[in-house]
Amino acid sequence: MKTRPDGLDDQQLRTALREFGIDATELGYAPVGHGDHHWTAVDRDGGRWFVTLADLAHKSHCGPEPESAFAGLRRAMDTAAALRALDLVVAPVPAADGASVLRLADPRYALSVFPLVPGAAGGFGEALGPADRSLLIAALARLHTTRPPAGIPVHHPDLSARPRLEAALADLDAPWSGGPYTGRVRELLAGHAPALRRRLAELDELVARPAGPRVVTHGEPHPGNLLRTPGCVRLVDWDTVALAAPERDLWLTGATDGDLAHYAALTGHTPDPGALALHRLRWALEDVDAYLHWFRSPHTDSEDARDSWAALSGTVRELAVPAGG
């Protein structure tokens, strides 16, 4: 997020970092990513850290309410920690009590800390070249053939907050409240409601298909969550890790038929086009719900709000285009 979180100053963050054994001498806000807030920190011994603050009120993929979202986030971070032996995993460091995530005094927020790994970071929406795709496919093949850790979250392909999205589509005739973008969001959905309902029905058809194998998946292996290092790539942002179909990861790689054949040769699993379509559509609908929830909550006209509006309006218009159109 480009905007700092409300009600949290650097001193509170420094105090929380001591629970991880980090006495931060330098602390800088990092306006990167979307959804979570980030800082970089340097400790007295020169150790460098990447600090992530999750807003549990907007973490519906981990749980619908702050309490369940915290529990889901901790399961995900515990899973990432259990996978740290894989060099492709940038895993959280434990707090003094062994916890992978720390709830702050303001229970809306949860903190996790990672080593700051040198490498070239990518950006969401970036197109990977053939060499980077090959490295990513190889990394995912290793992840997908790893034994699932105990307690790993289990991914369900239906929408995590479908009732909330359907309630919004049923409430388009009444005024909405929230902030400066709420009215235009309602108008956007009203103009595309029939198409969104059709895409929900399409999702139902795809979910009803027979399920294939389930493996350890990252959930969001797009370029924005990649660190390029010589000869390999590493994956950050593990809060969506789960046991799921391999296509949950593969559709996000920009893979060509050749890349998918390479994956099949490495794993013995031939990616299923229907499962790829399912997870591509589910991602878009989950985005619509997440942005919708954000804009129906109190918000201001910030750079994050403008970026979110652009992302939401673009996604809704893409969904309005008939499949294959």
What confidence tens digit (pLDDT) does each residue in 32-44 have?
A: 877 799 999 999 9
Three-state secondary structure readout of 196-226: HHHHHHHHHHHHCCCCCCCEEECCCCCHHHE
**How high does pLDDT run on average in the chain?**
93
List CB contacts of 127: < 8 A, sequence separation 6 or more. Answer: 223, 254
Do 123 and 40 lie in a common domain? no
State how many domains the chain has: 2
Least confident of 228-232, 269-273, 298-302: 228-232
Q: Binning pLDDT at 50, 70 and 90, where does residue 292 land?
A: very high
Q: Is the pLDDT of residue 325 over 70?
A: no
Do 52 and 14 lie in a common domain? yes
Q: Which residue has the tokens 């150790």?
A: 47
Asked if residue 144 is part of any domain, the answer here is yes
Asked if residue 4 is part of any domain, the answer here is no
Do 29 and 140 lie in a common domain? no
| CATH code for the domain of 257 | 1.10.510.10
What mean pLDDT is predicted for residues 207-224?
A: 94
Do 300 and 190 lie in a common domain? yes
Asked if residue 59 is part of any domain, the answer here is yes
pLDDT of residue 126: 85
Do 145 and 254 lie in a common domain? yes
**Hey, what amino acid is at 125?**
G
Do 242 and 190 lie in a common domain? yes
* Domain C-terminal end among 91, 117, 143: 117
Do 133 and 82 lie in a common domain? no
Least confident of 56-60, 122-126, 195-199, 300-304: 122-126
Q: Binning pLDDT at 50, 70 and 90, where does residue 172 land?
A: very high
| CATH code for the domain of 87 | 3.30.200.20
Residue 315's Cβ-count burial label (10 Å; 0-12, 13-18, 19+) is middle
Asked if residue 53 is part of any domain, the answer here is yes
pLDDT of residue 202: 96
Residue 126's Cβ-count burial label (10 Å; 0-12, 13-18, 19+) is middle
The percentage of residues in the chain with a pLDDT greater than 70, rounded to a whole number, is 99
Do 170 and 277 lie in a common domain? yes
Do 92 and 202 lie in a common domain? no
Q: Binning pLDDT at 50, 70 and 90, where does residue 322 land?
A: confident
- Tell me the C-alpha to C-alpha distance, in Å, between residue 59 and each of 48, 62, 69, 128, 195: 27, 6, 6, 28, 26
Long-range contacts of 296-299 (CB under 8 A, 24+ apart): 296/168, 296/176, 296/177, 296/178, 296/182, 296/185, 297/57, 297/58, 297/178, 297/179, 298/178, 298/179, 299/178, 299/179, 299/180, 299/181
Do 106 and 244 lie in a common domain? no
Asked if residue 130 is part of any domain, the answer here is yes
* Domain C-terminal end among 117, 142, 165: 117
What mean pLDDT is predicted for residues 62-86?
A: 95
DSSP annotation string for 6-48: TT--HHHHHHHHGGGT--EEEEEEE--SSSSEEEEEEETTS-E
Asked if residue 5 is part of any domain, the answer here is no
* Domain C-terminal end among 65, 95, 117: 117
Do 132 and 243 lie in a common domain? yes
Asked if residue 1 is part of any domain, the answer here is no
pLDDT of residue 324: 57
What mean pLDDT is predicted for residues 197-206?
A: 96
pLDDT of residue 282: 95
Domain, as residue range, for 92: 10-117
Asked if residue 294 is part of any domain, the answer here is yes
DSSP annotation string for 135-161: HHHHHHHHHHTSPPPTT--B--SS-TT
The percentage of residues in the chain with a pLDDT greater than 90, rounded to a whole number, is 80
pLDDT of residue 286: 93
pLDDT of residue 161: 81
Do 235 and 301 lie in a common domain? yes
